[in-house]
Structure 1
Amino acid sequence: MQSESKLSIWFVMLAFTLLVGPFALDFHMHYPDEMYYTDAAVRMMQTGDIQTAYLGNGELRFKKPILTYWFVLAGFELFGVTPFASRFFFLLAGAMTIGGVYWAAKLMFKDTRIAQLSSLIMASYPVLIMSATRSIPDVLLGMFMAMAALGFIGFIRYGNDTPRRYSWILFLGLALAFEVKGLPALALGGLGLIYLSVNPWQRVKVQRVFYFPAVLVGLVVASYWFVAMYWIHGADYLNSFVEDQVGVRVASRYLLIAKNLLLAIVLMIVLFIPWFLFGMKGFQKNFKKLFYEEKAFTGFVVLWLVAILLMSAMVTKFYERYLLPVVPLSTIWVAWLLVKNGFLEKVRAMRVVLFFFIALNLIVLLVGVFFNAMLPTSNWIWLQILLDLAVIVYMVSQRKAISKLPALISFSILLLFFGASISTYQISLPDVGQLVKGYAEEQELAKGSQIGYLGHLHAGSKIRIGLGPDFRMVGLDEVNFPERFGDFDYLILEEKYLDKLPSDKYEIQLAALNWDAKYISEMFAALWDGNAEEVKMKYGKKFYWAKPN
């Protein structure tokens, strides 16, 4: 492993940002839940009310605390209303999570190799990468729980002599995590605080942990939005919040609970790809060895792991991102296990893994070259292709540098997302929102126009970002459309809903046309046959602009 001076944590964080950035900072892929936060942030800019979240159809939304909305809003205020802006601070949160893991591992262990390996494992963790490319709460929750974990480790490391700064880090981390997603932070934080005061290996006095100024500020931060909502909307808002946090998420069927628990356990192991492979041999022996070496730390890791597995088991629908709050802490333990298990000396195995990911990167790059050779593209994409190829060549050239192998493996995983964005550029971009934005600018539409939208909700969210705060777009559904379509200056409709509009009263024009990922095989065939535009018109996603006659 390289020394810290040669592989600084800032370099790892920068590599994560640059390699994941092209995939994250535009709608190469759009996650469904992003619309809740981007729609609300646009509405906040229009009304000036930054306390209350609204859906695209104008309904109130109280299911999540306010902090995620503010991260989106901050991006919009800083960079303007764009896909880039909606995800910018979430990408940085992913990088900061890596930094939090590094600093926590460095605090816990004197061996800097553990801290460096922890950061590399965290950087290549698939769920962190995907979460950092979406404007949803999970990566923020992971970042703030990593911050809280740093505070907990401070108490495990120093006991009753812990400096006060770790109380501040701990309670602010938990408070901010609570303002992101609510009860998961409360549950893990509460268990951690109980553990500090009762564990037999490094028991900490309650008065030492609960430093009053830090606790008070944490309570103010954690309760801010809840008090604000009660003041503005009364107690009814809690029904929606509690239903989301507990009601609709808690499963009651034993078979479903068992299935979720098994899936959570398997994913908690498998998602540490490929690192867990190096720790399988002699795991039981090394686990016991590590437990006796650092009982308080290992006990804390096990407690949080069991807690998140049980919470994940109880949901009605399990997502791998639910595991993210404890992944930073788990990553430190995995890095510790690997170093003790002789991972850094397994040169041949590391080279095999590296060449596997290099081969995978070459395949991804070739697919991207094919798409962009057959379709109009930008000079930036060709530059990205050259950079991708240069990094691959560099990785091959450094295969004999034993100390660089862990970093090369981590970066080769990140490079997959850099390379994937070369292909998705042709499939997904420009997204429907940017196409509609271009149409609106071409038509020189009056700012402040009222626009009704009938179509896929996720596409509607992209269109709302494209139009920005200058236009008030309201989402409609098939039920209320016949009564409401006449209330708007303009309408935007997905192709399948055109028959619901009296065409003799409206001028209808195509405003956006995109490839549909469902017809990827037709796209390949069309590129090969040279009739891509015809096939795109036949199978593509179409959105129409309707103007009253």
Structure 2
Amino acid sequence: MIKTKQVKHIIILILLSCLFFILGNGILSLTNPDEVFYVQTAKEMARQNSWATPYMFGVPQFEKPIFTYWLLRLGFIIFGVTSFAVRFFPAIFALLGVLAIYCLCVIGFKNEKKAFISGIIFMSCGLCIGLARTVFTDMIFSIFILISLLAFFWSYSNKNKKSPGILLFFVSSALAVLTKGPLGLMIPLLIISSFLYIKKDIKFLFCKSFLWGVFIFLLVSLPWYLIMLNKYGGSFIREFFYNDHFRRLIEAEHPNNDKWYFYPFSMAGCMFPWSLYVLVAIFYSFKNIRRNSQALDIFLVCWLVIVFLLFQPAHSKLVSYIFPLFPALAIITGSLIYDVALSKNKSRLFFIISLVMSAIILLIPIGLIVVLVKYPAYASLRMPACVLILAILSLGGSMLFFILRGRMLKSIYILAALNMVFISVIPFVSKEIEGYASSKNACEYLLKNYKVDNVILCAKFFVRGVKYYTDKEVAVMDIPGKQFFSPHPVPFLDSDDKVRAFLSKQSV
């Protein structure tokens, strides 16, 4: 039965999530190169009147499964083709993720306060905010995995809920598979299997509900794949299974990211402002784990290890790929903060970390002042920068005050507001940063001032955005260049000779 305190927490988390994830989501135009890729695909699907086949540059493309495109088209129907419309569902899934974390902690820890803090940490970390406010598959994919793991743990903790929990596990995993591929089942299945193995309770899965769950999983996830295989055969297999899955394991799409330390550093950095707390939480989670530890503690360690080991060996690395483990990071960090903040024996290490974080916050305004002095060309940003400086100084000063007074939990809530302060500045600087993030202004200028009846020649990074904002034929000039990891059906000019030959065929 839901308690009054839980209802209060849920309402607060929903309202805060709307601030962190939704408010002002339509201010910035769609950015290069990924947002415009997904939205252009959904636009072309609508133009082709197709709900099954994704299209890009007028031909089928299979970089990702279908579910995200369904959500984008639903956003078109509800709100129209706007930046707010396409960012709406990633934001909603982020909100669902916050609530799922709260529910998982209440079930596992039987502690509403710890659950609330964990939800706040997830909501306010940098990568979560970034993915909630942009169009990527990773937020939707990761929240489906989170919901599937919540469903399993609910069924494991409440034996009378075993059947609905297992069925929900497979439904959510199936939707994850429709969002990003086979990892949508592989990740949660490996996590629960390793957990049950450690608990010596594998027999938990030997039941009719598990078989029914497999059947429902196939019923939900398989039809789209069968339709694509039947309709496109080898081209679908080559692009989706080989190029976008197997090849990413053995070849780096982004060679600069293919370093052993990329994911460890990314985890810490993208959990900002909780980075230092996360490192300590990871250390204590592994240090204190025992077979007879609390079930959720073991479950979280399995979660962290499985996701990290699955993605670390792959040569294609992106920060967003490991987002499925961020809910676990938020929970172990929230658990640590709660235990220390409410303990009579305050941790010296925790006190030092909090002091360091308050010092970092107080140093940010100095960096902003240096930037304003060094780059006078951005004089138009001085007013919002001054407001930001005052807000951050107030935040850092308040945090330091509560730390020195020993009121650690209040200092944590203040720290959670840091990224919200940065978000609140976006409306005042959007005009200045729009040109760097989006091709919209450049394309509008081109169409307004020139008659475009030829193919538009553009850089590789901008070709998707130019296509989206102009709806004209495009070609890529990249000398010396490397083809897209998943080649697009547009002319790719990677030498002077190819450029000359291309230009000679264009009308003047």
1:73 maps to what in 2? 73
| 2:239 partner letter | S
Change (3 A) 1:39 1:502: same
| 1:179 partner letter | L
- Does the aligned pair in 2 maintain the 1:290–1:298 contact within 8 Å? yes
Change (3 A) 1:45 1:450: farther
* Counterpart Cα distance in 2 of 1:135 and 1:152: 28
Unmatched tracts of structure 2, length 5 or more: 479-495
Change (3 A) 1:262 1:462: closer
2:487 maps to what in 1? none
1:59 maps to what in 2? 59
Change (3 A) 1:104 1:6: closer
Cα drift, residue 37 of structure 1: 1.3
2:185 maps to what in 1? 186
1:426 maps to 2:432: yes
1:149 maps to 2:155: no
**Larger mean Cα displacement after TM superposition, 276-285 or 112-121:** 276-285
1:306 maps to 2:310: no
| 2:464 partner letter | S
* Counterpart Cα distance in 1 of 2:80 and 2:362: 37
Out of 395, 415, 432, the residue aligned to residue 409 of structure 1 is 415
| DSSP-derived class of the 2:456 partner | strand
2:458 maps to what in 1? 455
- Does the aligned pair in 1 maintain the 2:281–2:333 contact within 8 Å? no
Change (3 A) 1:359 1:72: farther
- Does the aligned pair in 1 maintain the 2:45–2:51 contact within 8 Å? yes
**Larger mean Cα displacement after TM superposition, 454-463 or 97-106:** 454-463
* Counterpart Cα distance in 2 of 1:49 and 1:88: 22
2:174 maps to what in 1? 175
Cα drift, residue 458 of structure 1: 4.7
Cα drift, residue 144 of structure 1: 0.8
| DSSP-derived class of the 1:454 partner | strand
- Does the aligned pair in 1 maintain the 2:308–2:322 contact within 8 Å? yes
1:325 maps to what in 2? 324
Cα drift, residue 322 of structure 1: 1.6
Change (3 A) 1:460 1:188: same
Change (3 A) 1:320 1:442: closer
Q: Which structure 2 residues correspond to residues 371-520 of structure 1 after superposition, within 5 A?
A: 374-375=379-380, 393=394, 400=402, 403-419=409-425, 422-429=428-435, 431-434=438-441, 436-437=443-444, 452-467=455-470, 472-477=471-476, 506=508
- Does the aligned pair in 1 maintain the 2:281–2:336 contact within 8 Å? no
Given the two structures, how large is their TM-score scaled by the length of structure 2? 0.76
1:263 maps to what in 2? 262
| 1:419 partner letter | V
2:37 maps to what in 1? 36
| DSSP-derived class of the 2:316 partner | coil
Cα drift, residue 84 of structure 1: 2.7
| 1:461 partner letter | R
Change (3 A) 1:61 1:390: same
**Larger mean Cα displacement after TM superposition, 97-106 or 81-90:** 81-90
Change (3 A) 1:272 1:29: same
| 1:33 partner letter | D
| DSSP-derived class of the 2:473 partner | strand
- Does the aligned pair in 1 maintain the 2:32–2:465 contact within 8 Å? no
1:85 maps to what in 2? 85
Cα drift, residue 65 of structure 1: 0.8
For residues 71-114 of structure 1, the C-alpha deviation after alignment (integer angstroms, 9 at most, x for no partner) is 22222232222333232222222222222212211221112222
Change (3 A) 1:54 1:452: farther
**Larger mean Cα displacement after TM superposition, 205-214 or 311-320:** 205-214
1:131 maps to what in 2? 131
- Does the aligned pair in 2 maintain the 1:385–1:422 contact within 8 Å? no
Q: Which structure 2 residues correspond to residues 519-534 of structure 1 after superposition, within 5 A?
A: none
Change (3 A) 1:394 1:25: same
| DSSP-derived class of the 1:165 partner | helix
* Counterpart Cα distance in 2 of 1:343 and 1:279: 18
Unmatched tracts of structure 1, length 5 or more: 480-495, 507-549
Cα drift, residue 193 of structure 1: 4.5
Change (3 A) 1:250 1:373: closer
2:364 maps to what in 1? 360
- Does the aligned pair in 1 maintain the 2:27–2:427 contact within 8 Å? no
- Does the aligned pair in 1 maintain the 2:90–2:139 contact within 8 Å? yes
Q: How many residues align?
A: 472
Change (3 A) 1:311 1:459: same
Cα drift, residue 476 of structure 1: 2.9
* Counterpart Cα distance in 2 of 1:460 and 1:214: 43
- Does the aligned pair in 1 maintain the 2:368–2:389 contact within 8 Å? no
- Does the aligned pair in 1 maintain the 2:31–2:438 contact within 8 Å? no
Query: Identity rate of aligned residues, in percent?
Result: 19
Change (3 A) 1:85 1:252: closer
* Counterpart Cα distance in 2 of 1:285 and 1:391: 31
Given the two structures, how large is their TM-score scaled by the length of structure 1? 0.71
| DSSP-derived class of the 1:249 partner | helix
